[in-house]
Amino acid sequence: MSALPSKLSETLSKVSPYDLNNCDREPIHIPGAIQPHGILFHLDMESLRIEQVSSNIESYLSHSKEEVVGLAIDALLTQESVRKVRAAIQSGSVRESNPFALNFQEEEDAFYDGILHIYKDALILEMEPIKDDNDSLFSFYQIVRKAVVALQISNSIGDACRTAASEIRKITGFDRVTVYKFDPEWNGNVIGEDRSEKMDSLLGQRFPASDIPAQARALYELNWIRIISDRNYQPSPLFPMLNPKTSAPLDLSLSVLRSVSPIHLEYMKNMDMVASMSVSIMKDGKLWGLISCHHKTPKYLSYQIRTAHKTPKYLSYQIRTACEFLAETFSGQMGAIETREAANQRLHLRSIISGLEATLSGVADFAAALRYNKAILDLTNSSGAVLSHRGKIYRYGVCPSEEEVAILLTWLSNQKSDLFQTNSLKTHYPQAEPLIETASGVLAVRISRNPDSHMLWFRGEKVKAIDWAGNPSKPVESISGEMRLHPRKSFELWREIVRGQAEDYTEAEIEVAIEFKNMVISKLLAHSVRDLESSNLELDSFAQMVSHDLREPLRGIRIYAQHSIEDDKGKLTPPTESRLNAMISLSEDLDALLLSLYSFSKIGRVELSYENVPVLEIAQQVINRIKPICEEQNINVEIQGDWPTLFCDRIRSGEIFQNLVLNAIRYSDKPEKKVILKSELNEESGIYVFSVEDNGIGIESSHFQDIFQLFKRLHAKEEYPGGTGSGLTMTRRLVEKHGGKVWLESEEGVGSTFYFTLQPQE
């Protein structure tokens, strides 16, 4: 077997700058070499010309690597083999075509399994020799079928993990097979195992995330199976080293022969492993874990099927494919089990919330009613809960003190999300260190925009003993006299005691917490509705009092003043008569204000009576009503545009037009007053825009919002008499009741145009 060129040897041996302090940056996808039990060709996509070849080609053919590069693959493979390669490329899915039998012209009796990859515009053909011995395909099928059935009848995650490890060990013959699950920090936890007696158990142990760095996990998502037949192999470098087209190393992410990081080979040695196989466990398109296999002696790769009931020395491509298939089956079964368990939990929690809803139905003070109801805690499997609303804090079960809760609520109110959940509050909120016994875990949902309105659940800490395969704080070791760091040598059990953490809240518990929040909001809204109904009744009573009891004395004052003037005609001094007339005028103004206030109070509660109404009819009716005023003041009123039929309230729409027209007439100082009522379709929104335009005094832009305030007048009544300052306020309320909006354009001394719509904006 050819030795490594000195340049590549230096590259592979010098781990620095990709040492174990930053090994997540080691470019393991471009090692520049392969494992030597097969051959790799990098081919031109169109011509199939050989761009690069593994240096060990000389061990298989009489050609040197220099002679091979530049040849078309047709010059080496038989005509039938080339046909298969081209057919696989043209199929559009080379992965589905793998493997296919190939042979060289030079030795037609020796067959190879060919595997094609197309990745990043590079076409890679790998070939591995097929061994001569051939055992029963049917026997192998029976073993795989039994393994699939065993996985499918697993009832729990633990059972599925044990079954997967056991069945894959039966098929492959590895000394130890483990099921390895990643946690959120990418530490690995061994949750299933099957092993021979000579192998130590790793079940229940954890491995730090640094053992499988980020770029290695990325490759496991791309290439679902990885085999190292013998850690002591000598890599076979590619020739030439760089891709001639890109002048960069060839990306071997999908290669089955890709050479392995020297760091990982040393890691295997420290674990006393000679051969290994890893199969990705994917869930929802993401890496969930690995099925990791270990062997104390070499397991050379062959693509020939070995009988699965024997202990195979060679792992055929079919065996590897079967393992990959079993991993997919296992992943599907895990998903089904997790879905079933989550569904059962959701069903249980929903029965609790249904019971709570029934208990709280019709209860006036539901916050107090929860005090002795353990269901509020069972809902999220918590030890304590808090309801905070309108400045009041209600505590249930084992909770932090009210003062501590108040401080926590202040912190929560500054969080952007309406949902906050953690199993370690002190990690996010260091001031919570004293609360770990009662509130290590927190699930909080915001009830309203009020900062202190929250529903919280608490879980106390659960002290955990975590068994690591070696000290996780020392994943690397420095050997005296060397600059380079090495993987840890010891994998002896190292126990870590973890404090300040609670059990994680499950998705089902979070969902039911949100559902309970919605129920609380519904209850609070029901209370608010009842309060509003009560307030409306009081407001109605007040409005009726305004309409009758307060206006009646004003009518009396006005009548007495009028009688005094009439009865004492000629006897009153001019100042006295002037004061009586002022009293009459003021009483009339106050009566008008009270009537406007009464009308305004009714708008918010009025129910619109919708019907299909020709809006032009409304405009014409308004003009007919004010015709005497127009004739008296020489006012020209015009109607322009295309007027639609809309679904609206006829009477209230008429009030809108009338208020705007009267406003236009009132605030005009021109000898010839002009008012234009117009309707126009907005092509973009498909909504009709109505307008009332005048040539009056205009409005300064800084007052555009002020004029819609109740009883707000911009001019003295003596200057522009009539009106109470409530017309535009009621106009806006009536427009908004229809779902529309009102706005204006105006220029002082020129006039104003008020626009409004009677349809909701999409």
Give the integer Cα–Cα distance in Å for 202 and 493. 9
Give the integer Cα–Cα distance in Å for 110 and 367. 82
More confident site: 594 or 665: 665
Q: What is the pLDDT, as a whole number, of residue 717? A: 52
pLDDT tens-digit readout, 43-78: 999 999 999 999 999 999 999 999 999 999 999 999
Q: What is the pLDDT, as a whole number, of residue 525? A: 72
- Structural element, H or E, at residue 637: strand 635-641
Q: What is the pLDDT, as a whole number, of residue 651? A: 83
529 has a pLDDT exceeding 90: no
> What CATH number was assigned to the domain covering residues 137-231+273-337?
3.30.450.40
Q: What is the pLDDT of the chain when averaged over all its residues?
A: 80
* pLDDT bracket for residue 9 (50, 70, 90): very low
User: What is the average pLDDT across 73-97?
Assistant: 90
User: What is the average pLDDT across 33-46?
Assistant: 94
Overall size of the chain counted in residues: 762
Give the integer Cα–Cα distance in Å for 189 and 181. 5
For residues 382 and 388, the answer to whether their CB atoms sit within 8 Å is: no
Q: What is the pLDDT, as a whole number, of residue 625? A: 83
User: What is the average pLDDT across 92-109?
Assistant: 86
596 has a pLDDT exceeding 70: no
For residues 148 and 329, the answer to whether their CB atoms sit within 8 Å is: yes
- Structural element, H or E, at residue 622: helix 615-625
Q: Report helix angle 157-172 to 137-152, nearest 10.
A: 170
Q: What is the pLDDT, as a whole number, of residue 255? A: 92
Q: What is the pLDDT, as a whole number, of residue 80? A: 94
Give the integer Cα–Cα distance in Å for 98 and 114. 7
Pairing of strands 441-446, 476-478: unpaired
pLDDT tens-digit readout, 441-465: 999 998 877 777 888 999 998 877 6
128 has a pLDDT exceeding 70: yes
Kindly list the domain boundaries of the chain, sorted by start residue. Answer: 29-129, 137-231+273-337, 362-505, 527-601, 607-756
For residues 714 and 703, the answer to whether their CB atoms sit within 8 Å is: yes
573 has a pLDDT exceeding 90: no
User: What is the average pLDDT across 176-203?
Assistant: 92
* pLDDT bracket for residue 762 (50, 70, 90): low
3-state secondary structure at position 647: strand
> Token digits for 495?
């126990």
Give the integer Cα–Cα distance in Å for 175 and 162. 15
Pick from 24-33, 197-206, 325-334, 650-659 the range whose average pLDDT is largest: 197-206
More confident site: 305 or 113: 113
One fold for 29-129 and 607-756: no
479 has a pLDDT exceeding 60: no
CA distances for 359 relative to 362, 376, 657, angstroms: 8, 11, 52
Pick from 209-213, 219-223, 293-297 the range whose average pLDDT is largest: 293-297
Pick from 103-112, 359-368, 710-719 the range whose average pLDDT is largest: 103-112
Give the integer Cα–Cα distance in Å for 698 and 746. 5
Q: What is the pLDDT, as a whole number, of residue 310? A: 45
159 has a pLDDT exceeding 50: yes
- Flag the least confident range among 114-118, 564-568, 639-643, 736-740: 564-568
752 has a pLDDT exceeding 60: yes
> Token digits for 761?
């904006």
pLDDT tens-digit readout, 352-366: 888 877 777 766 666
Give the integer Cα–Cα distance in Å for 703 and 709. 10
Give the integer Cα–Cα distance in Å for 399 and 417. 23
- CB-side exposure of 457: number of CA atoms within 13 Å? 28
CA-CA-CA-CA dihedral for 75, 76, 82, 84, to nearest 10: 180
* pLDDT bracket for residue 15 (50, 70, 90): very low
What are the DSSP calls for 315-350, one per residue? Answer: B-HHHHHHHHHHHHHHHHHHHHHHHHHHHHHHHHHH
390 has a pLDDT exceeding 90: no
Give the integer Cα–Cα distance in Å for 617 and 107. 98
Q: What is the pLDDT, as a whole number, of residue 18? A: 42
CA distances for 393 relative to 360, 371, 401, 419, 452, angstroms: 18, 12, 10, 19, 9
* pLDDT bracket for residue 421 (50, 70, 90): very high
Q: What is the pLDDT, as a whole number, of residue 689? A: 93
- Flag the least confident range among 59-68, 112-121, 386-395: 386-395
* pLDDT bracket for residue 373 (50, 70, 90): confident
659 has a pLDDT exceeding 70: yes
> What CATH number was assigned to the domain covering residues 362-505?
3.30.450.270
Model-level pTM greater than 0.75?
Answer: no
- Structural element, H or E, at residue 744: strand 742-747
* pLDDT bracket for residue 553 (50, 70, 90): low
Q: What is the pLDDT, as a whole number, of residue 14? A: 40
293 has a pLDDT exceeding 90: yes
- Architecture of the domain spanning 607-756: 2-Layer Sandwich (3.30)
pLDDT tens-digit readout, 342-355: 888 888 888 888 88
250 has a pLDDT exceeding 90: yes
* pLDDT bracket for residue 193 (50, 70, 90): very high
**Helices first, then strands: H and E counts in the chain:** 21, 31
- Flag the least confident range among 16-20, 118-122, 526-530: 16-20
pLDDT tens-digit readout, 614-628: 999 999 988 888 888
Q: What is the pLDDT, as a whole number, of residue 561? A: 73
User: What is the average pLDDT across 156-170?
Assistant: 90
For residues 444 and 455, the answer to whether their CB atoms sit within 8 Å is: yes
More confident site: 552 or 185: 185
- Flag the least confident range among 226-230, 355-359, 384-388, 467-471: 467-471
Q: What is the pLDDT, as a whole number, of residue 34? A: 95
Q: What is the pLDDT, as a whole number, of residue 530? A: 66
Pairing of strands 50-54, 673-682: unpaired
Residues whose CB is less than 8 angstroms from the CB of residue 373 and which lie 6 or more positions away in sequence, other chains included:
356, 359
Q: What is the pLDDT, as a whole number, of residue 452? A: 74
Omega into 298 within 30° of 0, i.e. cis? no
User: What b/e readout covers 31-43, taking b as 16+ CB neighbours within 10 angstroms?
Assistant: bbbbbbbbbbbbb
> Token digits for 362?
């019709």
User: What is the average pLDDT across 425-431?
Assistant: 90
- Architecture of the domain spanning 29-129: 2-Layer Sandwich (3.30)
* pLDDT bracket for residue 382 (50, 70, 90): very high
